[in-house]
């Protein structure tokens, strides 16, 4: 099918408009949401926005077609990762066109997908949709994946419940039906500070933290040995990673505090995070008895920060069947990163991931998306309009 250049050019223009908003996860996305809302209103597309608790961010949900159940939701996030410390060759928030590539922070992850969704609205409206197409743009995917939850809880109540969800993370327009869960933790050790010459009269938070870290690494090796029953993931096992550690004051002071941050990425069908947390809790109890009993106010505390559910395969689901047909594919893939798809699935909405661009380009300096990938996404969306149209 020939690609309508006007739709592609509109998608390129909108990618530039979206990239121009600096929506790093630590910052507000309201300027972008204001722009999107104005764009939707100009297209006579009804929408609602859902602010977060502090009011500095919001998600937006738009419906093209009849406001009934059984449609398809196209979901993407508006936040991006930081650019600080990266070697960009130009302003990250000004889209550049170099040959067949569009460069800018978020171009591939995932403002390009959002731009295609918005650019397709005239064609969606012209299709005479019998079932609706929803556009859902959220926030904080890069940090917590909690941004869509408020609106997700309203689907089937005051918002029409879709029959399928397509999350547009970059897959080179392949259909992904599985990703690992991600659960993040922070462990804080509080020791008893004293001169290191009197080590026996204190307890070092750093020493104990290192013991806890070593135990986590041992558990991580067990996760590797357990493997991936599906054989679909790379690496083919659940993973445990300690990402940051900070503690102590000086070489000759017994450390009063030590904090480390760690995560578990579990293959679908396992509860790797719960298993690891329980194992660490038992070991923490042993260390507490051994080291901290004589020192009030000391001890070990582990707190779960974020739990992003995995996406489990649902062979033959409405989302998988539809997406494979639109992508002209006969098999699904698994992706190594997490997304909001697991939250959609947990609410009972069959979900897949399928979006333009390569994940390898995400989070990189001079991040880019190829125009051909946007064209492939437009083709996918046109097929969706035909499926749901008159």
**SS3 of 367, please?**
coil
* Confidence band, pLDDT 50/70/90 cuts, at residue 4: low
* Confidence band, pLDDT 50/70/90 cuts, at residue 390: confident
Stretch(es) of the chain classified as CATH 3.40.630.10? 5-178+312-388
* Confidence band, pLDDT 50/70/90 cuts, at residue 129: very high
* Confidence band, pLDDT 50/70/90 cuts, at residue 230: confident
* 366: nearest Cα among 83, 111, 125, 50: 83
The string of pLDDT tens digits covering residues 334-362 is 998 999 999 999 999 999 999 999 999 99
Q: Provide CB contacts within 8 A for 263, sequence distance 6+.
A: 182, 183, 184, 185, 240, 241, 243
* 347: nearest Cα among 95, 163, 129, 94: 163
pTM of the full structure: 0.93
The string of pLDDT tens digits covering residues 155-184 is 999 999 999 999 999 999 999 999 999 999
- Asked, as a colleague might, if the bond just before 110 is cis with ω within 30 of 0, I would say yes
Return the pLDDT at 41: 97
Q: What single string gives the DSSP state of each residue in 225-261?
A: HH--TT--SSSSS-EEEEEEEEE-S-TTB--SEEEEE
Return the pLDDT at 365: 98
Summarize the confidence of residues 269-288 as an average pLDDT: 95
Give the single-character DSSP code of 322: H
Asked whether 204 and 256 are in contact (CB, 8 A), the reply is: no
* 24: nearest Cα among 128, 132, 129, 143: 143
Residue 96 burial (10 A CB sphere; 0-12, 13-18, 19+): middle
Quote the CA–CA distance of 134 and 342 in Å, as a whole number. Answer: 18
* Confidence band, pLDDT 50/70/90 cuts, at residue 28: very high
Q: Is 3.30.1330.10 the CATH classification of the domain at 181-308?
A: no
Asked whether 267 and 230 are in contact (CB, 8 A), the reply is: yes
* % of the chain beyond a pLDDT of 90: 96
* 12: nearest Cα among 360, 379, 373: 373
Looking at domain 5-178+312-388, its CATH class is: alpha beta
Stretch(es) of the chain classified as CATH 3.30.70.360? 181-308
Summarize the confidence of residues 218-224 as an average pLDDT: 97
Quote the CA–CA distance of 22 and 81 in Å, as a whole number. Answer: 10
Quote the CA–CA distance of 261 and 187 in Å, as a whole number. Answer: 6
């Amino acid at each position: 099918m020939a690609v309508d250049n006007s739709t592609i050019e509109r998608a390129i223009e909108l990618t530039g408009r979206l990239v121009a908003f600096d929506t790093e996860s630590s910052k507000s996305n309201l300027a972008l949401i204001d722009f999107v809302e104005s764009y939707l209103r100009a297209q006579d597309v009804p929408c609602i926005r859902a602010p977060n608790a502090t009011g500095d961010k919001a998600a937006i949900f738009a419906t093209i077609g009849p406001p009934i159940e059984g449609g398809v939701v196209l979901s993407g996030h508006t936040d991006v990762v930081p650019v600080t410390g990266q070697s960009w060759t130009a302003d990250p928030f000004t889209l550049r066109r170099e040959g067949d590539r569009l460069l800018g922070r978020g171009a591939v992850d995932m403002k390009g997908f959002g731009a295609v969704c918005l650019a397709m609205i005239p064609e969606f409206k012209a299709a005479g949709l019998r079932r609706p197409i929803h556009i859902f743009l959220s926030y904080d995917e890069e940090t917590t994946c909690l941004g869509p939850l408020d609106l997700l809880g309203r689907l089937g109540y005051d918002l029409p419940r879709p029959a399928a969800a397509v999350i547009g993370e970059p897959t080179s327009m392949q259909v992904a039906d599985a990703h690992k869960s991600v659960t993040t933790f922070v462990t804080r050790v509080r020791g008893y500070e004293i001169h290191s010459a009197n080590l026996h009269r204190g307890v070092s938070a750093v020493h104990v933290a290192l013991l806890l870290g070593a135990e986590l690494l041992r558990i991580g090796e067990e996760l590797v040995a357990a493997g991936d029953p599906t054989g679909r993931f790379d690496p083919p096992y659940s993973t445990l990673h300690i990402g940051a550690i900070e503690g102590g004051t000086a070489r000759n002071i017994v450390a009063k505090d030590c904090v480390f941050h760690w995560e578990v990425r579990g293959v679908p069908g396992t509860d790797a995070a719960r298993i690891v947390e329980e194992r660490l809790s038992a070991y923490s109890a042993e260390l507490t008895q051994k080291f901290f009993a004589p020192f009030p106010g000391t001890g070990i505390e582990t707190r779960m920060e974020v739990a992003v559910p995995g996406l489990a395969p649902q062979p033959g689901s409405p989302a998988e069947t539809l997406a494979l047909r639109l992508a002209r594919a006969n098999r699904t893939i698994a992706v190594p990163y997490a997304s909001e798809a697991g939250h959609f699935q947990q609410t009972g909405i069959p979900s897949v991931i399928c979006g333009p661009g390569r994940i390898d380009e995400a989070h990189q300096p001079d991040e880019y998306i190829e125009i051909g990938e946007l064209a492939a996404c437009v083709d996918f969306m046109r097929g969706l309009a035909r499926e749901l149209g008159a």
